[in-house]
Structure 1
Amino acid sequence: MVSISAVQPYDEAAGVRAVWPFVSIIVPTRNRAAYLRDVLGALSNQVYPVGRMEIIVIDNSSTDETEDVVRQAAVTGPFPVRYLRKQDDGPASSRNRGAEMATGEILAFTDSDCVPAPGWVRAAVARFDPGVALVCGPILPVWDGPDPAFFMHQIYEVMHEDGLYATANVFYRREAFLARGGFDERFRTYAWGQPVGGDDTDLAWRVRRAGGMSTFAKDAVVYHQASPISARAYLLQPLAAQIIPQLVARIPELRTTSLYKRYFLHRQSATFCLAVAGIVGARRTRTSLVLTLPWLQATWPAVKRDIWPPRRWGRAGLRFALQAQSSALLSITLIQSSIRNRSVVL
């Protein structure tokens, strides 16, 4: 294994560089002590020079063992760990407070249910060529056991620069971040406790429109732990998509970078709209039911896990019903928000 202190940044033009830039990693959290332990362990294992990195944990008034976990990491890890406890007023505020505390010229953001690969920081920092203001990287979902839990927090896989710049894996030059005023703190949380989201996408595009370039570091990998949630939280997840039409109204470029066929949130939402058209058309001709096949095909991977083995037919039927309910609620949510924001996303 390579010693962290022995690693030197590589510059193709000049050879081995003497010093890596100082990086401040900012992690907002609330009541995720068990996951946070994994995150801080992964950050302590970063292949990056000691003395050139710090970890900042912003605690949104946790009631679990979060503070104890942070204190332990501060004692045992090679990098300094700083801690701030504050009122729970949303993740955007927490990230901004972390940036205010930071001393690094590069600000790195990840979430408290993410596990960065050992070369995460090094790979991202290496992509900060002149003119580059932000760097993002892959986000890969992982879970405990062979199959995900039945009610699972919805996360998505990122394998290329998708225009959303999720804070699970994004780096900013400090001056670019501060020049744009950081994250918009009006993006808070919904009534049921889920973050509104969108603050990450909003900031990234403000930075880009100000002339900052972005790039994708394919080796700067973060693993996002798909955590079990309550049935209520699972059923309410599609409501969070109401922010999407608002973002697209603000940032029309998202139609080409992030949406499917410019007007659909993703392929599955497009196939659901097609399926609804097929069901409505069946009142005239049953052949229109063929339009439901793409949605059934898109839903099949989630259902087939329960069909063989162990042939849990009841569970498979329930999963299919929940997929249909989720798709329907998502479609209704997007239509309502599209009308409200005068920006069509289906």
Structure 2
Amino acid sequence: MTTASALTIAAGRAEHLRNVIRGFDAQTVPPVEMIVAVMQDAPYDDLPRTRFPVHQIMVPPRDGQLPLAAARNAAAAAASGDVLVFVDVDCIPGPGLIADYVAAARPGQGLMMGEVLYLPDGALRDGIDAGRFDGMGVRHSDRQAPPPEGLRACEDYRCFWSLNFALHRADWDRSGGFDEGYLGYGGEDTDFGRGLSERGMPIWWMRGGRVYHQYHPHCMPPIHQIPSVIRNADYFASKWGHRTMEHWLHAFRLMGLIENGAQGLRILRQPDDADFALCRQEPHMPYANTRRVLDRLQGIAGPERHDPARIREVERQQADMLARRAG
């Protein structure tokens, strides 16, 4: 019988974590355990009772930054299941998540990314109800829809997102795990996807494996994380020859927050209230969206958003952030 371990990483967000645990306890096929990699000074208390053990392992911050990559690696190392199911702490698993992933995962299958529906503000006032969430949750406009059934190959490693994914333990071992040189926000997911691509390991979009993203105010692009985004973009370049997160960097540049010169990326000023007002997720928005901000900064509206020539020009401008500007 194939077993699965549920894995998450967490710092703060105690009620989010409790909801994740409740979601795993409501599975049609429960995990054999849940591993919580805790990125804060003390473990969580008052966690819900479950049909399976919940283990907390401590992965303290490094240099004042959350060690997201190291925490995922530590959670995987502590797990005993055949299939490793990673869900972010702000995502409630649907009742069939474990069953869906266990049915699809096998050695050599590669990595599978399940469905994500974003919940509006107030969705949890009446508790956790997957049927109700299915009716009110929305898909992210910049993410591909799942296939009609089964799996569909993801042809671009940059689409990998650690929000909700699973793979067999044998494939995790082959992947080498997340690069722990990334600290704080940004870059480690793209690096992991690039590593899978280099190893010839497939990434799949999956029908099922659904989670519900719990509403919480957020900024996109992440103007509250500019120093770590810059650091991690340059770290990515030290490995692969070019930066990543160029859409965020491009937005920062358009806002006058950074510049890209011969000496590399440089912060020009700190974000102000107007910047946060532009990037902040408001209560009527189920998710924050960098594309919305870029469109506003560049004066793109209506049908122009889908004009191929305009899309190519935006991509060209973003690509300028992949390397230092000459001279």
TM-score by length of 1: 0.57
| Equivalent of 1:209 in 198, 219, 230 | 198
SS of residue matched to 2:61: coil
Question: Residue 109 of structure 1 contacts residue 169 of structure 1 at CA under 8 Å; is this kept in 2?
Answer: yes
Question: Residue 180 of structure 1 contacts residue 206 of structure 1 at CA under 8 Å; is this kept in 2?
Answer: yes
| Equivalent of 2:174 in 166, 171, 179 | 179
Quickly say closer, same or farther: Cα 1:341–1:227, change in 2 above 3 A.
farther
In the alignment, structure 1 residue 77 sits paired with structure 2 residue 50: yes
Match of 1:165 in 2: 160
Deviation at 1:124, TM superposition (A): 1.9
| Equivalent of 2:84 in 78, 86, 107 | 107
For residues 324 and 60 of structure 1, the distance between their equivalents in structure 2, rounded to whole angstroms, comes to 35
Match of 1:324 in 2: 297
- Greater Rg, structure 1 or structure 2? 1
Give the 5 Å matches for 1:115-134: 115-129=92-106, 131-134=108-111
For residues 98 and 237 of structure 2, the distance between their equivalents in structure 1, rounded to whole angstroms, comes to 30
Quickly say closer, same or farther: Cα 1:321–1:166, change in 2 above 3 A.
closer
SS of residue matched to 1:58: strand
Give the 5 Å matches for 1:147-162: 157=143, 159-160=145-146, 161=154
RMSD: 4.5
In the alignment, structure 1 residue 30 sits paired with structure 2 residue 14: no
In the alignment, structure 1 residue 338 sits paired with structure 2 residue 322: yes
Quickly say closer, same or farther: Cα 1:156–1:91, change in 2 above 3 A.
farther
In the alignment, structure 1 residue 45 sits paired with structure 2 residue 14: no
Q: Deviations over 1:48-93 (max 9, x none)?
A: 1x5x521000111156xx6114xx33xx211221111231131111
Tell me the amino acid that sits aligned with residue 175 of structure 1. A
**Larger helix share, 1 or 2:** 1
Deviation at 1:105, TM superposition (A): 1.7
Deviation at 1:220, TM superposition (A): 1.0
Question: Residue 141 of structure 1 contacts residue 156 of structure 1 at CA under 8 Å; is this kept in 2?
Answer: no
Match of 2:224 in 1: 236
| Equivalent of 2:40 in 47, 51, 61 | 61
For residues 325 and 212 of structure 2, the distance between their equivalents in structure 1, rounded to whole angstroms, comes to 34
Gaps of 5+ in 2: 124-139, 147-153, 255-277, 286-291, 301-313
Quickly say closer, same or farther: Cα 1:31–1:156, change in 2 above 3 A.
farther
Quickly say closer, same or farther: Cα 1:244–1:168, change in 2 above 3 A.
same
Deviation at 1:232, TM superposition (A): 11
Deviation at 1:177, TM superposition (A): 1.6
Match of 1:281 in 2: none
Question: Residue 99 of structure 1 contacts residue 107 of structure 1 at CA under 8 Å; is this kept in 2?
Answer: yes
* Structure with larger RCO (C-alpha < 8 A, sep 6+): 2
Question: Residue 107 of structure 2 contacts residue 170 of structure 2 at CA under 8 Å; is this kept in 1?
Answer: no
Deviation at 1:178, TM superposition (A): 2.0
Question: Residue 140 of structure 1 contacts residue 222 of structure 1 at CA under 8 Å; is this kept in 2?
Answer: yes
For residues 180 and 320 of structure 1, the distance between their equivalents in structure 2, rounded to whole angstroms, comes to 34
| Identical-pair percentage | 24
For residues 23 and 326 of structure 1, the distance between their equivalents in structure 2, rounded to whole angstroms, comes to 47
Tell me the amino acid that sits aligned with residue 159 of structure 1. A
Quickly say closer, same or farther: Cα 1:96–1:232, change in 2 above 3 A.
closer
Deviation at 1:38, TM superposition (A): 0.8
Tell me the amino acid that sits aligned with residue 88 of structure 1. P
Question: Residue 17 of structure 2 contacts residue 90 of structure 2 at CA under 8 Å; is this kept in 1?
Answer: yes
Match of 2:264 in 1: none
TM-score by length of 2: 0.60
Quickly say closer, same or farther: Cα 1:188–1:240, change in 2 above 3 A.
closer
